[in-house]
């Protein structure tokens, strides 16, 4: 590739090799370490998938018990980080609060700059273990409520829902949320994962890399889309608008319909297909089929008029909403799950590191000489 060939947004560029996840954009397939996402969504818990991403194989029962024990031991939040959450202005963007709190975790981790594989595995465990508590504490503090401690033996999915409202989630809610965490855990070199690897490739630290990744995920073209999808569905509902006309107006005014399109998938995102069925079930269970009906009307319109398929963010929005989750937490929840992928990619990057530094085609002016300022 000579200097003049710019590839916009690095589309189609293979930047590095990875054993973590594979996406077949034509077939609409996603695989983590050789396991198809449908198989994992059906038959593995989030903690099993975390172990798979970090270690390369699904855990035995004793390996899973050890991981769960490590996560329990590591999850207590440093008091100053809770204070940062207390002081965050109500107007602050939820992902800016999460980015700040995760970055602050690094200030109180005396291994923050230790770069041995063992120290990085411990930091990966601490980061993943603490993220649910940070999000739940933030959600409660901004409502004027005190944070709730997690229950000792419960799963991450159970404890996240429990820490939000102090009630035991039903087994169906726990299973649905656990599946959502499995579905969001990793996804090749998406913008936030690539960001984490670029930062890690300079041999900077895990907290810097994950904070940067959260910054990338915040954007509405990436993880921020699920919050925008819910804003659209709520707007349609509150206005009593016809979803077909609503989205046709967006398309006519060249606006992007959030939750649709993807840089890699050229057919439906398999995660969206899995969540579409969950939304249908949840909407029937909760007698709230309007969310499924709006979604399918929008899906059919965007597909027929723009040829675009939904991505994971389109159906995750109504899944979380029907579970009673605050839309402001939708992208932080995405970050919770993707912390498993980000840290797995960092461990992989550091196992065989090379600085990530592409080139730019220079298209600026040339051959200029300085004129003294009083003559400019």
Interface residues with ligand SDX (CB under 6 A) are: 9, 187, 190, 221-223, 225, 256-263, 306, 308, 311-313
To ligand SDX, the closest distance from the beta carbon of 241 in angstroms equals: 18
Which residue's CB is nearer to ligand SDX, number 51 or number 330?
330
State yes or no: is 93 an active-site residue.
no
Report the candidate in 121, 163, 156 with the shortest Cα–Cα distance to residue 48.
Answer: 156
Which residue's CB is nearer to ligand SDX, number 173 or number 217?
217
CB 27 within 8 A of CB 309: no
To ligand SDX, the closest distance from the beta carbon of 233 in angstroms equals: 14
CB atoms within 10 A of CB 93: 14
Which residue's CB is nearer to ligand SDX, number 252 or number 375?
252
State yes or no: is 187 an active-site residue.
no
* DSSP run (H or E) holding 29: strand 29-32
Report the candidate in 193, 293, 187, 181 with the shortest Cα–Cα distance to residue 237.
Answer: 293
To ligand SDX, the closest distance from the beta carbon of 198 in angstroms equals: 15
Which residue's CB is nearer to ligand SDX, number 18 or number 63?
18
Report the candidate in 304, 174, 184 with the shortest Cα–Cα distance to residue 247.
Answer: 304
Q: Pick the catalytic residue: 187, 262, 269, 309? A: 262
Select the residue whose beta carbon is closest to ligand SDX and give its number: 261
To ligand SDX, the closest distance from the beta carbon of 337 in angstroms equals: 10
CA distance 279 to 36: 21
Integer angstrom CA distances of residue 286 from 207, 280, 289: 40, 10, 8
Provide φ and ψ at 262, rounded to 5°: -165, 145
Which residue's CB is nearer to ligand SDX, number 9 or number 80?
9
Report the candidate in 125, 146, 126, 122 with the shortest Cα–Cα distance to residue 136.
Answer: 146
To ligand SDX, the closest distance from the beta carbon of 330 in angstroms equals: 12
Which residue's CB is nearer to ligand SDX, number 130 or number 338?
338
Q: Taking the CA of residue 70 as centre, how many other CA atoms within 13 Å lie in the half-sphere pointing to its CB?
A: 17
Q: Pick the catalytic residue: 184, 222, 313, 345? A: 313
CB 158 within 8 A of CB 323: no
To ligand SDX, the closest distance from the beta carbon of 76 in angstroms equals: 29
Looking only at the bridges linking them, the beta strands covering 21-24 and 29-32 are: antiparallel
Which residues are tagged catalytic?
262, 313
């Amino acid at each position: 590739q000579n200097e003049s060939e710019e590839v916009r947004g690095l589309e189609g560029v293979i930047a590095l090799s990875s054993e973590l996840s594979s996406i077949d954009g034509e077939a609409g397939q996603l695989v983590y370490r050789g396991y198809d996402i449908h198989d994992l969504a059906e038959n593995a818990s989030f903690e099993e998938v975390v172990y798979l991403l970090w270690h390369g194989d699904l855990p035995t029962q004793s390996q899973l018990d050890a991981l769960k024990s490590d996560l329990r031991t590591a999850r207590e939040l440093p008091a100053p980080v809770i204070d940062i959450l207390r002081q965050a202005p109500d107007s602050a963007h939820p992902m800016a609060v999460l980015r700040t709190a995760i970055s602050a975790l690094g200030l109180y981790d005396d291994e923050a700059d230790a770069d041995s594989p063992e120290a990085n595995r411990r930091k990966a465990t601490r980061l993943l273990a603490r993220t649910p508590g940070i999000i739940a504490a933030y959600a409660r503090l901004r409502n004027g409520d005190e944070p709730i401690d997690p229950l000792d033996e419960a799963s991450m999915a159970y404890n996240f829902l429990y820490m939000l409202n102090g009630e035991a989630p039903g087994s169906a809610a726990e299973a649905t949320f656990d599946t959502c965490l499995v579905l969001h855990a990793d996804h090749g070199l998406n913008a936030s994962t690539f960001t984490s690897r670029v930062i890690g490739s300079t041999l900077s630290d895990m907290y810097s890399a994950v904070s940067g990744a959260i910054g990338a995920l915040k954007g509405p073209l990436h993880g921020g889309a699920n919050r925008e999808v819910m804003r659209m569905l709520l707007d349609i509902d509150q206005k009593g608008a016809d979803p077909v006309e609503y989205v046709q107006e967006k398309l006519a005014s060249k606006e992007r319909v959030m939750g649709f399109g993807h840089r890699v998938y050229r057919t439906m995102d398999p995660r969206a297909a899995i969540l579409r069925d969950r939304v249908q079930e949840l909407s029937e269970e909760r007698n709230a089929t309007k969310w499924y009906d709006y979604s399918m009307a929008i899906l059919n319109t965007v597909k027929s008029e723009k040829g675009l398929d939904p991505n994971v963010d389109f159906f995750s929005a109504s899944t979380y909403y029907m579970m009673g989750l605050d839309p402001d937490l939708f992208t932080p929840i995405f970050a919770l799950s993707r912390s498993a992928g980000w840290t797995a990619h960092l461990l992989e990057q550091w196992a065989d590191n090379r600085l990530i530094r592409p080139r730019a085609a220079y298209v600026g002016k040339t051959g200029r000489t300085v004129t003294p300022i009083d003559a400019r």
